[in-house]
Structure 1
Amino acid sequence: MKKSIYIMALGAFGIITTEFGIIGIMPAIAKHFGISIDTAGWLLSGFALTIALTGPFTVLLTSKINRKWMMSLVLFIFVLSNMLSAVAPSFTVLMIARILPAFLHPVFWAVATVAAAKQVEPKDAPKAVSVVLAGLSVATVLGVPLTTYVSELINWKASFWVSGVINLIAFAALSAFVPSMPVTEKQSVKSQLVILRKGQMWVNLVATMIMIAGIFATYSYLAEYLGKISSMNGKQISIMLLLFGTTGIAGNWVTGLALSKNVMLTTRFFLLSLIAVHVMAYLFGGLFVPMASIVGIWGFIHTGGFLIGQTRSTSEAPEAPELAASLMVSFGNAGVTLGTFLGGIIIAGFGIHQVIWISILLLLVSLALTFVVLSKRSAAAGETAVEQQPAEEAFIPEEECVLEV
């Protein structure tokens, strides 16, 4: 793998540390500003919702800018965001400081994943993308615990300074060592929007959203589950979460290799494996040793979901891969919000042990959607029609839906 791919992974590490590092310091922030914990929670959910709602638009608006300098700008904005957060005099200012970089968050992911894929042979593209996405896994293993530890050691403001330094290092490395990436084929917004007519891409995006919702319906409350069902104390839970993230790094790499061989088979095996591990967690959650083993397996499988969603979404839109990648980021964040919301409802109504079943249901729905394949024949006819007709008269017929046997 080229050096620039690893530098982009470092950038991903900084961005995710900024996004999710807030989780461990929210109680301290709530206490400092005298607000409730659910109000402080908007520092995370507001970030995710901003990404979900604006991602494709910001990617389109920045599609003609040199990709290296665009990524550098995003990282620089994240540096400023963390600095402003560290000195925020009020919760309102802190909220604004958090929301501003969220607008550009999808741009980095879309550009970095597509740029990584283009720097290797097509067959190795999933492996290259998995290196960039490994920045996400490492951030959950090291970044989030690091900011939490700094908050406890010094204060919550110091955590933002640490996140800022990480993004600053990534910004410097990317600016100094990554070659220029000019946009040689400048596409108009209209030409990129053509991919929105692709029915299979929408099927894949919806399947990805439901899959990630299924992942996060339980994962968002994993610490609570381990405490209440597995009777683990705080130290043991911390070790389990570290184990979960560490095995996830290896799982992300293995998923990249598998996707290079067969995307659909890997997707279905991933979903079936994740359903199986949820069932095991439900059956053996009350037993310490079996649950510790299950957590390790769970983490190994879990991380591949993001890479699978990324690969399936962009593969259907080679004409505008960055827009497709940004749509995946938006649908993925919508999935996080949906899964956390549904998991909370189940916990409130039926208890933490039963939250497993909403994850299983969502994952089964996502698995079923992998068998929905839209015929390419009518789409190909439509593309021919576009070439033969003036743009304003061109018409792409609807794709017919068939079930894959």
Structure 2
Amino acid sequence: MKSKRNLYVLALGVFGITTTEFGVIGVLPEIASTFGISIEKAGWLLSAFALIVAVFGPFMLVVLSSFKRKSLLVSSLLIFAVANILSAYIGNFYVLLVVRMLPAFFHPVYWSIALSFAEKASDPSDKSKAVSIIFSGLTLATVLGVPLATLMSDLFYWQSSFLLTAGINIVAFIGVQLLLPAIEKEIEFPMVFDLNIFQNKNLWIGLLIAFFTIAAMYSTYGYMAEFLKNVTHMNGKQITIMLFMFGTVGVLGNKIAGKYMSRFPFQTTCIFLILLTGIHVLIYGYGSFFAPMVWIIGFWGFIHSGGFLISNLNVTSSVSGSSEFINSIFTSCGNFAVTTGTLFGGFWIAHYGIENSIGASIIFITLALIMLFIKVKLVK
């Protein structure tokens, strides 16, 4: 059960559910146009999904704790596939929003099982590398899922992107069902909440670092397609290529983050936040220039990809206890951050324009850096 193959199989499922969550990013402009709504309102397709995960994550683990782990994994992927198929045939924005929210209840279940398995099926010294394999599914969603969904929308119509995402989840469903053995012995869900864990100040600091970091990432990234369309003046195919490049270089960025986070957690987190700040400054200064933005997007993807992994390890390393429960807390925190970042980014765009969208991210990055240095002071 300690082979890397099982980790990669689980990462395949992460690829499927993450493509469902973030694949909509590249088609938000088309959805907004079809339903005659603002880009800020269309952004709820991303933020509402993340909000459901944030609120119900830990509760879903307790409710479903009596079910077999593998059954929960494959059932979650099947629900994601069905929801995507239904989304492709809905003609009302609010109905689409509700259907998008349904699989979100099972998102934290899959993530928590996968992350907990990665931690327990590896040696302590290899924990960050094992976790990085699970997060490679998220990176793969960025590399292939989001760009392909955008390309399908450009070539056909935006509804086809949901059918593509359904197909990805079906492939993941088959892969997990056929290739993953039973994992009951490796992980167990808590039957009750260990509320004492919330008295640990290190956990709260780790959660705040993760929250501000991920919110900073998605305040801008959530509206990347809109920015490239209206500020850089790229067409649909060019945006697809940019999203593909963004994710491709992210594979290396995720690997490097996993390598150094286990040895130099503070330095790695600090450098990540500083580089992310620099990228956003460059986006602000050169966002309207085609050639410079191509290079900037490449470096942006390289840096951005490590954010979830870095955030996860900042949380899970801050306190000991049930890894499943802690990972469910992180999943909730991360998705609450996606919700906050997307909503605040949309608010910022509505008031200051898409060309100034990086302002929201800079605020969150500053708060993340403040919390990081508070953590250092407390450790001392």
Q: With structure 1 as the length reference, what TM-score do the two structures score?
A: 0.83
Alpha-carbon distance between aligned partners in 2 of 1:252 and 1:229, rounded to the nearest angstrom: 28
Is 1:328 matched with 2:330? yes
Alpha-carbon distance between aligned partners in 2 of 1:197 and 1:339, rounded to the nearest angstrom: 26
1:319: Cα distance to partner?
A: 1.6
**Structure 1 SS opposite 2:358:** helix
1:45: Cα distance to partner?
A: 2.7
Q: 1:50: which partner in 2?
A: 52
If asked which structure has higher relative contact order (CA below 8 Å, sep 6+), I would say: 2
Is 1:36 matched with 2:56? no
Is 1:169 matched with 2:171? yes
Is 1:21 matched with 2:11? no
Alpha-carbon distance between aligned partners in 1 of 2:290 and 2:193, rounded to the nearest angstrom: 55
1:287: Cα distance to partner?
A: 4.3
- Conserved 8 A contact 2:113-2:187: no
Q: Deviations over 1:237-263 (max 9, x none)?
A: 433222222111211111111113222
Is 1:121 matched with 2:120? no
Equivalent residue runs for 1:143-162 within 5 Å: 143-162=145-164
* Counterparts in 2 of 1:100 and 1:350: CA distance versus 1, 3 Å: closer
1:106: Cα distance to partner?
A: 0.7
Q: Deviations over 1:260-309 (max 9, x none)?
A: 32222211111112112222333344544333222211110011110111
- Conserved 8 A contact 1:195-1:320: no
1:14 alignment partner AA: G
Q: 1:338: which partner in 2?
A: 340
Q: 1:305: which partner in 2?
A: 307
* Counterparts in 2 of 1:65 and 1:199: CA distance versus 1, 3 Å: farther
Equivalent residue runs for 1:245-264 within 5 Å: 245-264=247-266
**Structure 1 SS opposite 2:183:** coil
User: Which shows bigger deviation, 255-264 or 303-312?
Assistant: 255-264
Alpha-carbon distance between aligned partners in 1 of 2:137 and 2:23, rounded to the nearest angstrom: 14
Gaps of 5+ in 1: 375-401
1:307 alignment partner AA: L
Gaps of 5+ in 2: none
Q: 1:109: which partner in 2?
A: 111
Equivalent residue runs for 1:1-400 within 5 Å: 2-25=4-27, 36=37, 40-88=42-90, 93-182=95-184, 188-190=190-192, 192-373=194-375
- Conserved 8 A contact 1:64-1:186: no
Alpha-carbon distance between aligned partners in 2 of 1:28 and 1:274, rounded to the nearest angstrom: 28
**Structure 2 SS opposite 1:371:** helix
* Counterparts in 2 of 1:88 and 1:316: CA distance versus 1, 3 Å: same
- Conserved 8 A contact 2:190-2:324: no
Identity %: 42
* Counterparts in 2 of 1:84 and 1:258: CA distance versus 1, 3 Å: same
**Structure 2 SS opposite 1:373:** helix
* Counterparts in 2 of 1:217 and 1:92: CA distance versus 1, 3 Å: closer
Q: With structure 2 as the length reference, what TM-score do the two structures score?
A: 0.88
**Structure 2 SS opposite 1:328:** helix
Alpha-carbon distance between aligned partners in 1 of 2:120 and 2:135, rounded to the nearest angstrom: 15
1:55 alignment partner AA: G
1:229: Cα distance to partner?
A: 4.6
* Counterparts in 2 of 1:42 and 1:295: CA distance versus 1, 3 Å: closer
The structure whose Rg is larger is: 1
**Structure 1 SS opposite 2:122:** coil
Alpha-carbon distance between aligned partners in 1 of 2:251 and 2:341, rounded to the nearest angstrom: 22
Alpha-carbon distance between aligned partners in 1 of 2:162 and 2:86, rounded to the nearest angstrom: 9
Alpha-carbon distance between aligned partners in 1 of 2:233 and 2:154, rounded to the nearest angstrom: 24
**Structure 1 SS opposite 2:375:** strand
* Counterparts in 2 of 1:187 and 1:113: CA distance versus 1, 3 Å: closer
1:16: Cα distance to partner?
A: 1.4
1:65 alignment partner AA: F
Q: 1:382: which partner in 2?
A: none
Alpha-carbon distance between aligned partners in 1 of 2:146 and 2:68, rounded to the nearest angstrom: 31
- Conserved 8 A contact 2:203-2:319: yes
Number of residue pairs matched by the alignment: 377
- Conserved 8 A contact 1:347-1:355: yes
Q: Deviations over 1:332-377 (max 9, x none)?
A: 1222222223333333333444333332232122012112239xxx
User: Which shows bigger deviation, 309-318 or 341-350?
Assistant: 341-350
**Structure 2 SS opposite 1:175:** helix
- Conserved 8 A contact 2:154-2:236: no
- Alpha carbon RMSD of aligned pairs, Å? 2.8
Alpha-carbon distance between aligned partners in 1 of 2:91 and 2:295, rounded to the nearest angstrom: 45
Q: Deviations over 1:122-178 (max 9, x none)?
A: 111111111111111221221123233334545555433332232222122212221
**Structure 2 SS opposite 1:318:** coil
